[in-house]
C-alpha cells in the first residue's frame, strides 16, 4: 500500500496531465456552485468533500453526444462523351465495355480515444462503468462497440473511497461497498494528512511508480481499514435481493400496483441521465446533400417515443409500462442476460427526481410478493 500526502495531490495531477487528459470533480464558479466532472487545470482543487457529483463520470467514456461515422455519396463510372460519339451515347472502359454510372458510398469510422485519467469518482460510479462494459464489450458474444472500448482502454480509473454516506446511498444492498474495487485501477482512501493508495490493476501499478507516492506506514494502513469498516456500517440496508427478480416477473401484470407507483412520474428522464449505469441511446443521421454524419446520443426509456416503431405501434405507449420497464430492466431483464444488476446504489435517481420517486420503495413494493385484498399473496 502507498501513501499520497494531501499537499502532493496537485503535483500528481500535473504529472498525469503531461501524458493524458485528467478529469476531476470540481465546483463551478457560478452562483449555483454545482460539482461536476471536468478537465483538470493547474490550481483547480478536486472537490472531494461533496460525496457525489450531479452526474457520474460515465460521460467521459460513453459520451452524451458523439459522431461515430461520416459518409459521403459519389457517382462513379462516368467516362464523359468522346467528340466522335453522338451526345447521349454511353462511354466505354478500356475493355470496350460500357461503364454504367452508379452511386457509391464511402464511410469513415470515428474512433478517437486519447489517454485520460478519471480521478475522484466513487466506487459506485466505477461499478456502473463495469455494467456498461457488459453491454458494449461483447459479453456473451453480443455486440462489441469499437469506439466505446477504445475509450475505455485509454482510461485509468482512480476512485476515492467514501467517508460519509448520504441517506440515499444503498450500495451495500446490492453487494457493493463504499470502498469497492470493481472497475477501479487504484483506490484512494482518505486518512489524516492524505490518502492511502491501493494499486489494483497494471494501470494502477504504473501510477504508483510516481515519486509523489511513498510507502504507507502501518498506522496509515490501520487508519484506512478503520475508515472502510466504519463507512460500511453507516449505509442502511434498503432491501433484500432474494426473490426480487422472480417477484418483478410475477407482478408484471399488476396494473394497479404499477399505476400507483408511477402516478407521480412526469417522464422527464432525469433518473436515467444521472444514473452511472444506464446506457440507452438513440442514433440519428444528419445529411446535407451528398454528405452526412451518424450521431449517437443518450436516450431514456421514459421518453414516449423511445420504443415507437416505424409501423406506428408503441409497445410502451403508457407511462405505466415505461415506468415498469425501467425497474424491470435493472433488476430482471439485465441480470438474466448479463448475470449482474444494472444498479450500483449511488442514489442519484432518488436525490434528483423532481417528484421524489424512490427506487428503493419501488423495489420493496414490486420486488416482493403482492398481497391481495383477501390478505393472501397475489
pLDDT 10s digits, 287-315: 888 899 999 999 999 999 999 999 999 99
* In a domain? residue 220: yes
Check whether residue 13 and residue 128 sit in a common domain. Answer: yes
* In a domain? residue 83: no
Check whether residue 201 and residue 309 sit in a common domain. Answer: no
Check whether residue 204 and residue 181 sit in a common domain. Answer: yes
CB neighbours (10 Å) of residue 339? 10
Give the pLDDT of residue 112.
87
Check whether residue 267 and residue 191 sit in a common domain. Answer: no
* In a domain? residue 46: yes
What tens digit of pLDDT does each residue of 254-279 get?
999 999 999 999 999 999 999 999 99
DSSP 3-state of 104: strand
Interatomic CA distance for residues 116 and 16, integer angstroms: 9
The burial class, CB within 10 Å (0-12 / 13-18 / 19+), for 74 is: exposed
Check whether residue 215 and residue 330 sit in a common domain. Answer: no
Boundary of a domain, candidates 179, 206, 234: 234
* In a domain? residue 105: no
Check whether residue 248 and residue 215 sit in a common domain. Answer: no
HEC secondary structure over 227-263: HHHHHHHHCCCCCCCCCHHHHHHHCCCCHHHHHHHHC
* Intervals of the chain under pLDDT 50: 79, 81, 86, 88, 372-375, 378
* In a domain? residue 99: no
Residue of 208, 161, 206, 349 whose CA lies nearest to 269: 349
Check whether residue 201 and residue 161 sit in a common domain. Answer: yes
Give the pLDDT of residue 373.
40
Split into its structural domains, the chain has a count of 2
Give the pLDDT of residue 95.
60
Give the pLDDT of residue 76.
78
The residue segments making up the domain with residue 228 are 2-66+112-234
Give the pLDDT of residue 110.
86
Boundary of a domain, candidates 185, 211, 234: 234
Give the pLDDT of residue 102.
77
**CB contact at 8 A, 366 and 329:** no
Give the pLDDT of residue 78.
55
The burial class, CB within 10 Å (0-12 / 13-18 / 19+), for 244 is: buried
* In a domain? residue 172: yes
Check whether residue 221 and residue 183 sit in a common domain. Answer: yes
Check whether residue 122 and residue 225 sit in a common domain. Answer: yes
Backbone angles phi, psi at 215, to 5 degrees: -65, 135
The model's pTM is 0.88
* In a domain? residue 373: no
Amino acid at each position: 500500500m502507498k501513501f499520497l500526502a494531501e499537499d502532493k495531490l496537485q503535483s500528481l495531477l500535473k504529472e498525469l496531465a503531461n501524458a493524458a487528459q485528467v478529469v476531476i470533480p470540481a465546483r463551478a464558479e457560478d452562483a449555483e456552485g454545482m460539482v461536476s466532472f471536468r478537465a483538470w487545470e493547474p490550481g483547480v482543487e478536486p472537490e472531494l468533500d461533496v460525496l457525489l457529483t450531479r452526474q457520474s463520470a460515465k460521460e467521459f467514456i460513453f459520451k452524451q453526444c458523439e459522431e461515430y461515422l461520416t459518409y459521403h455519396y459519389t457517382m462513379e463510372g462516368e467516362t464523359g462523351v468522346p467528340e466522335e460519339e453522338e451526345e447521349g451515347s454511353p462511354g466505354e472502359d478500356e475493355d470496350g465495355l460500357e461503364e454504367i454510372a452508379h452511386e457509391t458510398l464511402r464511410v469513415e469510422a470515428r474512433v478517437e480515444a486519447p489517454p485520460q485519467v478519471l480521478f475522484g469518482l466513487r466506487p459506485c460510479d466505477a461499478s456502473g462503468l463495469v455494467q456498461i462494459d457488459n453491454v458494449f464489450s461483447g459479453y456473451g458474444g453480443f455486440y462489441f462497440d469499437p469506439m466505446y472500448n477504445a475509450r475505455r482502454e485509454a482510461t485509468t480509473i482512480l476512485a476515492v473511497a467514501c467517508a460519509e454516506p448520504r441517506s440515499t446511498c444503498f450500495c451495500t444492498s446490492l453487494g457493493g461497498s463504499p470502498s469497492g474495487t470493481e472497475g477501479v485501477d487504484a483506490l484512494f482512501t482518505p486518512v489524516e494528512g492524505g490518502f492511502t493508495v491501493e494499486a489494483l490493476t497494471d494501470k494502477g501499478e504504473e501510477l504508483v511508480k510516481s515519486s509523489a507516492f511513498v510507502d504507507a506506514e502501518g498506522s496509515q494502513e490501520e487508519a484506512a481499514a478503520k475508515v472502510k469498516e466504519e463507512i460500511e456500517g453507516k449505509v442502511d440496508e434498503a432491501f433484500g435481493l432474494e426473490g426480487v427478480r422472480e417477484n418483478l416477473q410475477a407482478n408484471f401484470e399488476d396494473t394497479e400496483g404499477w399505476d400507483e407507483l408511477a402516478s407521480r412520474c412526469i417522464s422527464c428522464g432525469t433518473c436515467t441521465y444521472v444514473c452511472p449505469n444506464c446506457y440507452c441511446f438513440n442514433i440519428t443521421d444528419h445529411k446535407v446533400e451528398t454528405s452526412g454524419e451518424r450521431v449517437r446520443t443518450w436516450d431514456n426509456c421514459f421518453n414516449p417515443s423511445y420504443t415507437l416503431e416505424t409501423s406506428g405501434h408503441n409497445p410502451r405507449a403508457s407511462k405505466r409500462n415505461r415506468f415498469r420497464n425501467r425497474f424491470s430492466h435493472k433488476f430482471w431483464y439485465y441480470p438474466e442476460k448479463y448475470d449482474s444488476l444494472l444498479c450500483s446504489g449511488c442514489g442519484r435517481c432518488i436525490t434528483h427526481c423532481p417528484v421524489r420517486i424512490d427506487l428503493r420503495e419501488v423495489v420493496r413494493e414490486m420486488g416482493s410478493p403482492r398481497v391481495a385484498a383477501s390478505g393472501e399473496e397475489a
